[in-house]
A and B are shown apart, each in its own frame.
Chain A
Amino acid sequence: MSVMVRRRIVSRIAETLCAGAVLLALVPLALILFYVLRQGIGALNIAFFTEMPKPVGEPGGGMANAIVGTLILIGIAALFAVPIGCVCGIHLAEYPDTKFSSVVRFAADVMNGVPSIVVGIFAYGIVVLPVKRFSAIAGGIALGLLMLPIVVRTTEELLRLVPAGLREGALALGATRGRAVFTVIVPAALPGILTGILVAIARVAGETAPLLFTSFNNRFWSTNLGQPIASLTVQVFSYAISPYEDWHRQAWAGAFLLVAIILTLSILARLSVRGLEKMNRP
């Protein structure tokens, strides 16, 4: 057998294996999406968005409180994690070799690996226990803690990807170091950082475990940050494990909505990046 033929065969086998692996990965994903879509879309109606949950046994009702609750929780999480995470990331990128930086970086990596339920318990310990009440704040902080390491690390990585020439260019024009960072380097990395933030939000929006001990759940309309608050994930969880058919239906709708929110966030991330990158591209 000539070398050429052998190479071609090996190449064909490798290609087939690759394609197979891709399919294997895509099939469950497609199935999940398809299943959620099929089950969820049928259960969706205006009431789902606008009405409050009905008591057990009463058909109909919606998850208006949970939708708003989830948005509030995400908002608190972002408010908490984005500024701290970005500043941390900037520090890590600007002073990469200090002892302090390596400690922070290590801590972020460890935090990234901590199971979300542990983060939930932690938030329970420091926010819920002292006041002896579940609250939106506690839930937001738990989600924020999950976001934080992602934001820190993506910010750092993206800032370090900015070519050194830009910094030199700014310094050579008489910019101070801080000036150079905030007027040139951060703007250059901004599209990427924003994507990182949106990805982090998408990631925590689907979390249930940390919310169980923190924001808990609320059957009623509430926007009070000091009170327990409903969230889509917890609502889906509790409806799904209930014995009622109508609740199962609504759980599917909730699951579908979650997927839709995450998808929307991803698309939003893409679009915003495209807008910002206008200056980064020809």
Chain B
Amino acid sequence: MTKIHVRDFDFFYGASKVLHGISMDMPDKQVTALIGPSGCGKSTFLRSINRMNDIIPDARHDGLIEIDGKNVYGGGTDAVELRRRVGMVFQKSNPFPKSIFDNVAYGLKIGGMRNRRQLNEIVEKSLTRAALWDEVKDRLQTSAFALSGGQQQRLCIARALAVDPEILLMDEPASALDPIATAKIEELIYELKDNFTIVIVTHNMQQAARVSDRTAFFMLGKLVEYSETKTIFMNPKQKMTEDYVTGRFG
């Protein structure tokens, strides 16, 4: 079942067009990886899905992105509301200068939840889902900055999960982490896809191969090939994809 439906999506920064007619359907409760060389537009595309690009002046778009058949950029969609349904995890972990607990509870609190018991419950559940609970349960009130890089990133994932989104966008979530922390994040992604639709941007092709069900290869703002991950890595249809995944690119 299609969760995110994209048709002829263009994106411009001022006069320069950075995405050209992207069309793809991302299935529900699966991991879709966006790969491609730097500057290929994959991050811009990812950030179009939850309208994070709205905050950039001079940016505009054309074409359609639908989630569950509802136009993301349509008149009836509020960007703030949308972002509660479409969580995001960034390349650089960005915990707030608050306690571990308050970080996870942030989205709930700005959503108006005040019930302490309910907050406790969801914070625990989110941290558990992010495979961090056991490591932090005894120090929920300490600063989030006391955590290691990998833990901070899992905290950011827990924070995103706490508002119970349907979709999780991940912008190179492990690129700043060491291999062990990366492996943990990847395992986590694998676990999370039971409940969430995940779109992940990664520079690391092997990571895309490991975690994703479907892979989209972007190049110069165009979607070159989009297919099952094993097809992309075993038998891509496009020469450009082949060159990229075999490292012959350049």
Contact = CB atoms under 8 A, between A and B. Distances in A.
Given A183-B106, A279-B145, A280-B143, A173 B98 contact: no
A169 B88 CA distance: 8
Contacts of A175: 80, 107, 110
A173 B97 contact: no
Nearest to B146: A282
Interface string B92-115: 101111110000001100110000
B160 interface: yes
Given A184-B96, A188-B96, A170 B143 contact: no
A171 B110 contact: no
Given A169-B156, A280-B145, A281-B143, A174 B81 contact: yes
A99 interface: no
Interface string B53-93: 00100000000000000000000000011011001101010
A24 B113 CA distance: 59
A206 interface: no
B106 A170 contact: yes
A278 B55 contact: no
A257 B191 CA distance: 65
Given A278-B143, A281-B145, A172 B50 contact: yes
Interface in A166-224: 166, 168-177, 179, 183-184, 187-188
A172 B160 contact: yes
Contacts of A177: 55
A279 B100 CA distance: 9
A163 interface: yes
Contacts of B84: 173-174
B83 A171 contact: yes
A67 B98 CA distance: 38
A165 interface: yes
Contacts of B98: 187, 279
Interface in A54-73: none
Q: Is the interface of A mostly helix, strand, loop or mixed?
A: helix
B99 A279 contact: yes
Interface string A21-48: 0000000000000000000000000000
Contact of B96 (A169, A278, A282): A169
A281 B52 CA distance: 28
B80 A174 contact: yes
Nearest to B89: A172
Contacts, number: 79
A272 to B, nearest CB: 15
Interface in B32-59: 50, 52, 55
B57 to A, nearest CB: 8
Interface string B117-161: 000000000000000000000000001111000000000100110
A172 B83 contact: yes
B219 interface: no
Interface string A135-169: 00000000000000000000000000001011011
B232 interface: no
Nearest to A281: B145
Contacts of A188: 96-97
B111 A170 contact: no
A156 B106 CA distance: 24
A169 B94 contact: yes
Contacts of B95: 169
Given A172-B50, A174-B107, A183-B110, A165 B94 contact: yes
B53 to A, nearest CB: 11
Nearest to B82: A174
A212 to B, nearest CB: 43
B211 interface: no
A194 B95 CA distance: 22
Given A171-B83, A173-B106, A282 B92 contact: no
Nearest to A190: B97
17 contacts: A165-B94, A166-B94, A166-B96, A170-B106, A171-B52, A172-B52, A172-B83, A172-B160, A173-B87, A173-B163, A174-B81, A174-B107, A174-B163, A176-B80, A187-B97, A282-B143, A282-B146
Interface of B: 50, 52, 55, 80-81, 83-84, 87-88, 90, 92, 94-99, 106-107, 110-111, 143-146, 156, 159-160, 163
